[in-house]
Amino acid sequence: MSNIILPPQKQMTTMLGHPVAENPIDRMFDEVYAHYGLHWQFWKCDVTSENNIPAAVAGVRALGFAGACITVPYKVVSIPHLDEIDEDVKAIGAVNYMTIKDGRLIGHNNDGKGVVKAIQKVTPIAGKRVVMLGAGGAGRAMAVELAWAGASHLTLITRREAQGTEVAQTVTRASGVPAEWVQWSGEVCVPEGTDILMNATHLGAAPQLEPVPVNWGTVSKSTTVVDVITNPRITPFLNASRDMGCPIVNGVEMLVQLAMQIFEAWTGIKPDEAVFQRAVAKALGE
């Protein structure tokens, strides 16, 4: 009888969220793991209820995952179930990934760092007036990081007053930058003088591809338009912006920037950006 040599157990990483089906993050990470010769794998876990978050987070520890991402709508509610959070999470009030050290789950947030790097490839942030549509777990992190990056003013347009005012207060408390809440009601009229307009909602994601209800007559051609959606790369929101001649920043670029930081935190390997860019393009079938 011949001896069968079994491959080593794969080191698992994951993402907890709902919905997660259209997010290309698993295919991107698996491609990068393979490039660096790592016997690792990435699993997306669709946690359909907030009631299951305590068990899901506990499962990350119990099943020996090497790291985990946390996406909408659980970036805030997951915090009490972690063992430790870093200073960014304390300031922002949301978490988007965790590292595991000696069995302890440590929460971090680099959502905003990813979007700042992506925007700065197109335009400086310092001194700019920013308008953000939506202010959920990712949006609040981005708002704070944009303020830390030197934005002069933030306007948060949301349907829920409690959410918008709380995030505006968080921004000012964390950075000293003035921030205000504006009610989202019907078609959004973008305030005059807006330098950066960002969609931080789910509108435009595959497969629905819903348009963001913006009055494009109120948007200047000099406004840089940003979308956090990762699939498709060019959303209806960005397509309309590009047709107007506005500079655009897509969510895939943001994903690449934050994913590289997460990869390095999990593996200790500083990745080549080109590897991630090729991996995400392949994941999206581009």
Nearest to 180 by CA among 158, 198, 150, 201: 158
* Residue 121 appears among annotated catalytic residues: no
DSSP track, 101-149: ETTEEEEE--HHHHHHHHHHTTS--TT-EEEEE--SHHHHHHHHHHHHT
Paired residues of 45 in beta bridges: 16
Q: Are strands 97-101 and 104-108 parallel, antiparallel or unpaired?
A: antiparallel
Instruction: Fill in the DSSP letter of residue 268.
Output: S
**Given 10, 44, 75, 101, the catalytic residue:** 75
Report d(CA 57, CA 62) in Å as an integer: 9
Which amino acids are annotated catalytic? 75
